[in-house]
Structure 1
Amino acid sequence: MTDVGIPHNWLEQPIQRPSAQVEAKARAHQLQLTKPAGALGELEQLAIRLAGLQGRVDPRIEHCHISLFAADHGIAAAGVSAYPQAVTGQMVANFAAGGAAVSVLARLAGAHFDVVNLGTLQRPAPDPRVLDRWLGPGTADFTQQAAMTAEQRDAALLAGAERLAEAKAAGCDLFVAGEMGIGNTSAATALGAALLGLDPQLLAGPGTGVGTAVLAQKVTLIRQALQRHTADMPDLASGPEALQEHRVLELLRCLGGFEIVAMVGAYLHAGQRAVPVLVDGFISTLAALVAVRLKPDLAAWLIYGHRSAEPGHGLLLEALQARPLLSLDMRLGEGSGAALAVQIVRSACALHSDMATFAGAGVAGPGA
């Protein structure tokens, strides 16, 4: 790994602010393009926002970076998924070999793609195509004990931050985090329910395609976990900021997954290093919610790629006041929806930067 210069107290570093001045210039530029004002709808606002994030009036996506974080979950042993836990490790190899959906979409997007193993049930043989950041054979069953130790949580946060820092050092101008882990919709549902104060039944979905009976069992287990880990935890909405941050980090330790925690770390460091993020589906959005609860200023750096078919995703997006770019009933995860949306972001940038102005094209503007 290259030296990416992450300080020991990196979590305490502030989130950078987008350039309001550049955004204003980009908005003025939009009004000069050969089209009626607002005719390109949200594409116009996306380009203006990216200009402020990138600090240049002509935003562009030349170096998109997609990192796939993988790990197993102890709760999977309770049968909350349609697939066995071995699939996580098998899919890690499939990602690296280029055979997964996000692998295909990353190639189409011309994006750099890497795979990070944070803790599959079985530690695989070394593979030069996979970054080994193994923290153990997955998390513990959070219905029985905390999912991970504080040391594992902090190491996973740092692993995510390192991937972002290395991407930034390579010129990344748009970052996507993907995830893989059998059982991780259960972890995401538990965290979302705890953060939003909702019954997990409102957030729980089929995930890998489980039936009604398994879904009901999944909800029951998540309720047990919430009772175990949050019954004595003070209300997240009360208390000083430092105490709220401690509670969120404790929820992440008790209910999270290594790959979810790594995405939180990557998102936080993206805001610290001024890298726009394109967020994927339910689990990635849950990680975004955690990160924004830790650092509210991070919200400015997060663009949402799509609305998943998972029932809970809409509630998470609503809590974040987020409006996703696409809605295609996808629920695969992996970063696939965000990878698909990269082309939308590129199109918005190209329209903003490459269209002629009224003056340049010799076209009469409005009111001429």
Structure 2
Amino acid sequence: MGKKEKRTPLYSQVRDYVMDQIRQGKWKEGRRMPSETQLSKQFDVSRITVRGALTRLVEEGVIYRVQGRGTFVTTEGLEGEPVRYEKTGNEPQLIAFMIPRVDNRFTTSLLNGIDDELANSNYRMLLLRTHDSQKKEEELLHEAVRSGVKGIIVYPADGQTYNETMLRLAMDHFPIVVIDRYLRGVDTNCVCSDHYAGAYAATEHLLQLSHREIGFVTTVFTGTTSLEERLEGYKQALADYGVAFDRRRVLDSAVPEDIRSFLSEQSDLTALFAANEGVGLASIRAASAIGKSVPEQLSVVFFDDYDHAEDARIPPTCVSQQGEEIGRQSAKRLFALLERPIQDRISIRVPARLIVRRSTATAPNI
């Protein structure tokens, strides 16, 4: 265990190798260095890891790049050398926060939590939005490393896999923390809500109101661990209260027409648990569209709170995630990795809280 923690992360090995070649006089001033491809093969790391190491050396004024010619050891007055600034050692350093979008209370609170934690540090945030596209996510990871960020916090795009760049960065011990979800079988530092316990509490709330015909509505959940865990929490609560799980009670579509059809076909449902705010609000509208009143005929509870929810026509019962705490914990975990990149990867679970309002009531005919 102790020996493992003394290992140098791979991107630092590349940087140290370049510095040693220069100090020993093997690479003279003005010498063109090996290409990123050559260095990645030499160290058996990804090009993005090599690029990150070289970017730091450029920032330090040790090397410089010339478009179309390559990377060179610094020589004063050489044509093409960029202007270098005298550094005091106190300049703020960048970390990247990658997120699908910032459009609801949870994502905004994540941003606030990270920013609050950075406020008293020497780090500043580079915010990058992926629009839930794994292709865009991979492009932005490359952009972040080229920008010289010291670490990355990622709220991954939906999907059954992480992109290859994220995996390589994690394998190379580049400081990276994943929030909200993780990939089964892949060892990463992760900070997320306790999705299972939150879903269990929501379903148990309905069961304690004497509901037994309870549906589950979600977006496509396969491969997205946060949604898979919410389904498992729902199923376990049913089992603990002696209610058999029925796959026909699960709808994995957020399309309004599909929800209306689902509620019409499952006409004996008295309650719904929805996997997120968007699906939950769509379910309330769908119930109204087919003439089912909430909560008199159909109780609805969903994951994620939203601004001014208590002022809604039907104030919703929901599971509220502690976004700011998740943001703070992810930043703290990243700080620990920046101090010591080689250490055991851990998963941090932040409790979610059930907020009971007026979209749930005792089951009809009870």
**Which structure has more helix as a fraction of its residues?**
1
TM-score normalised to the size of structure 2? 0.26
> Taking CA–CA contacts closer than 8 Å with sequence separation of 6 or more, which of the two structures ends up with the larger relative contact order?
1
